[in-house]
Amino acid sequence: MSTPTIQKTFHFTEAPPQGNFSIAERPVPTPGDGEVLVRVEAAALNPADWKITGPELIHVMGVLPLPLGTDGAGVVEVVGSGVTTLSKGDRVVFQGWFAPDKTTFQQYTIVNPAFAAKPVLSRVHELAQPPPFWGAGPSPSAGTPTLILGGASSVGQFAIQAAKLAGHSPIITTASLRNTSLLTSLGATHVLDRSLSVDALVAAIEGALRGTPLLYAYDAITYADTQSVAVRALAPGGKLVTVNPVPLSEEDKKAAEGMTIVFAQGNVHVPFHSAFGAEVFAQLSGWLEKGDIKPNPVGILTKGLAGIQDGLKRMEENKVSAVKLIARPQETP
């Protein structure tokens, strides 16, 4: 079967929050040198897909209408010149980018092979390769505690697994307690009730630490209250990674004096992340094969791309927990 020339896409006809969504048609792009065209079989929804504002979208995309989506899985359809690591028919997981031909809320997209991995179903290896968070030898993080706020979110689930790979212990996380079994299966040693007050959570974290200083925290949600928990729980000189640039209150600024707080842009297409991202993707197939990294539980949206709008609304209304919502673009009516 030949590759079609026209595809269906889910996009904004105007920039949000005022903009409207629609299913429309656009040309199937042609891969350039060092690129492949992937038939998108699954496109994942992210909070950024509804949180990102109109001016931000216009800045990164530059055009209307605006297709979105940056997480995908599919089958290689066309291989561009110079590509040696992928072949037509390969199944891949990949990360897209905020460019019309590289987003995932469409039936076909352009993928950089450096940011794609072949998923495998068997688990035949017994020895794990060290992840790229350190060089040769034992991890410098081994035996040190870490705190992950929002462990049941998609980012939180992978942060827990990365912390386990890096040897952190204990791994303390916050979540709805109904997700305790899932998070402990991923590597969390303590699951604390996210509905507790800031003071109660800080006290519970201190209890789990048993006097050991907390030097690392990852806030996978980053609201004012989650960030407050992190800075109050961290020891002097601690390091905090956030996923939203939320200003600190005056009280929290005092608590955070001497700490390092950084905002993580979680996309490997960002230039200063590309080298690290390529290294991660080079090892991802092995991690999946060994079960060191487990995908999120998923919730499948009906109607293909047409189901995305309802999925985004559910996420905005905080009605999604511990699952990654997935649309199947090829099933679009």
Environment class of 59 (CB within 10 Å of its CB; exposed 0-12, middle 13-18, buried 19+): exposed
More confident residue, 199 or 276: 199
> What kind of fold does domain 146-258 have according to CATH?
Rossmann fold (3.40.50)
What helix, strand, coil percent values describe the chain, rounded to 5? 30, 25, 45
Q: What is the pLDDT of residues 96-153, one digit of tens each?
A: 998 889 999 999 999 999 999 987 543 333 333 344 444 555 677 889 999 999 999 9
Taking CA atoms, 255 is separated from 35, 80, 217, 258, 300, in Å, by 47, 52, 14, 9, 42
* Amino acid 68: pLDDT: 84
- pTM for this model (two decimals): 0.85
* Amino acid 316: pLDDT: 87
DSSP code, position 185: H
Q: Identify the bridge partners of residue 241 per DSSP, sorted by sequence position.
A: 218, 262
Average pLDDT over residues 19-36: 90
Q: Is residue 277 scored above 50 in pLDDT?
A: yes
Q: Tell me the average pLDDT of the chain.
A: 88
Please state the φ and ψ torsions of residue 165, each to the nearest 5 degrees.
-60, -40
Environment class of 116 (CB within 10 Å of its CB; exposed 0-12, middle 13-18, buried 19+): buried
| Helix (H) or strand (E) run with residue 57 in it | helix 54-61
Question: In sequence order, what DSSP letters do the residues of 65-127 get, joined into one string?
Answer: SEE---EEEEEEEEE-TT--S--TT-EEEEE--SSTTT-SSBSEEEE-GGGEE---------S
Q: What is the pLDDT of residues 192-209, one digit of tens each?
A: 999 999 999 999 999 999
pLDDT band, very low/low/confident/very high, at 245 (cuts 50, 70, 90) = confident
Q: Is residue 189 scored above 80 in pLDDT?
A: yes
Sheet holding 171-175, edge to edge: 190-193, 171-175, 146-149, 216-219, 239-242, 260-263
Q: What is the pLDDT of residues 31-89, one digit of tens each?
A: 999 999 999 999 999 988 877 655 555 555 556 666 789 999 999 999 999 999 999 99
For the beta carbon of residue 61, count every other beta carbon within 10 angstroms. 20
Lowest mean pLDDT among 8-12, 217-221, 259-263: 8-12
**Domain spans of the chain, in order of start:** 6-122+268-331, 146-258
Average pLDDT over residues 302-308: 95
* Amino acid 84: pLDDT: 96
How far is C-alpha 117 from the chain's CA centre? 15
Count Cα atoms within 13 angstroms, Cβ side, for 272: 2
* Amino acid 20: pLDDT: 67
Q: What percent of the chain has pLDDT over 90?
A: 68
Answer for the pair 75, 41: CB distance below 8 angstroms, yes or no: yes
| Helix (H) or strand (E) run with residue 154 in it | helix 154-165
Answer for the pair 255, 232: CB distance below 8 angstroms, yes or no: yes
Answer for the pair 293, 131: CB distance below 8 angstroms, yes or no: no
* Amino acid 48: pLDDT: 80
Q: If you classify domain 6-122+268-331 with CATH, what class do you get?
A: alpha beta
More confident residue, 180 or 66: 180
